[in-house]
Amino acid sequence: MRWIAVVLALGAAACGAQPAQVPSTVFTTAHRTVSDAAREFLWIRSTPQQPIPFPHKTHIAKKAECVDCHETVAKGPVAGIPSVKTCMICHSQIATDHALIKQVASYSEKGIEIPWQRVYGFTHEAHVKFNHAPHIRADVSCATCHGDVANQTVAERVVDHNMGFCVNCHKQKNAPNDCLTCHF
């Protein structure tokens, strides 16, 4: 069985560099392709390829706060990948000559969201229900789970969100550790 896993893993790993293709069929309801299923089974996640190399560092150096753009983080379960509308709040005025900003503006003009790729997130099989808002209310800093984004340009997956990581922190802070706190 290990042999099969290796073959599948090779196949899956080879995918990362391939140009994206539109899947012709849906493999299962949870996985669009066999590749998705195989990768999820083997815990392989490709590095997200962002359409525009968004420099977190530059923005934070200019005193922008995380919540300025990830504005729903304190309101609900999802921090939210910002809409191009949020970019244009500042960039309709600031640095409009910059090549990358022109790209952003062109998305905005077309009325299309920038196809940002998600960096963090749980698989369906993990059956994890994560809610940002209570963590923010408990004053957990963004860096605890997302690393030092202030010194990253494009966000990278630097913290491994495995169960041990969550449970350790919950224990330290006397947060509930019941299964149903996170799993449903």
Partner 1 sequence: MDRRNFIKLTAITGTSVTLASCGNPENQLIRFVPDDDITPGIAEWKPSVCPVCQAGCAVTVRVMDADVDTVRNGQAGVVAMAVAKKLEGQPKDPISQGGLCARGQASIQITYHPDRLTQPMKRTGARGTGEFQPLTWDAAIAELVGKLDALAAAGDQKSLVWLARPRASRRAALASTFLTGFGAPAPVEYEFFNDHVLRSANLISFGREQLPTIDIARSRIVIGFGADLLGTWNSPVAQSAAYGRMRQGQPQVRGKLVQVEPRMSLTGANADEWVPAKPGTEGVLALGLAHVILANKLRPGDSGRSGAAIDGWSGGLQDYAPAQVEKITGVAAKRIERLARELVEFHPAVAVIAGAPLAHTNGLFNALAVNALNGLLGAVEQPGGVFFTPGAPKSAATRVRPDTLTTAKVLLLDDANPLFAMPAAMQVREALSKIPFIASFGSFIDDSSAFADLILPDHSFLESWVDVQPESGSIEAVSTSAGPVMKPLYQTRATADVLIEIAGKLKTPVTLPWKTAEDVSKSAASAGAATPAAPSAISHQPSAIKYAEPAFAGDAAQFPFHFLPYASQAFGDGSTAHLPWLQELPDPITSAMWSSWVELNPQTAERLNIAQGDLVDVTSPAGVVRAPAMIFPGIAPDVVAMPVGQGHEQFTRYASKRGVNPIAILAPQVVAEANTLAWAATRVRIARAGDADGSLIMFAGEMRERPQEGETR
| Chain positions contacting partner 1, by CB under 8 A | 3-4, 7-8, 10-12, 14-15, 18-24, 27, 32-35, 38, 46, 72, 75-78, 80, 83-85, 108, 111-113, 115, 117, 131
Instruction: Please give the Cα distance from 51 to 103 (Å, whole number).
Output: 10
Residue 178, token pair as written in the block:
């019941």
We find the least distance from the C-beta atom of residue 142 to partner 1, in angstroms, to be 18
Q: How far is CA 98 from CA 16, 57, 67, 88, in A?
A: 30, 17, 24, 13
The residue (of 16 and 55) whose beta carbon lies closer to partner 1 is 16
The whole-angstrom separation of Cα 81 and Cα 73 is 10
- Residue with Cβ nearer partner 1 (55 or 76): 76
Report, in Å, the least distance between residue 21 CB and partner 1: 4
Choice between 105 and 167, CB closer to partner 1: 105
Minimum Å gap between C-beta 174 and partner 1 is: 26
* Exposed/middle/buried for residue 172 (C-beta within 10 Å: 0-12, 13-18, 19+): exposed
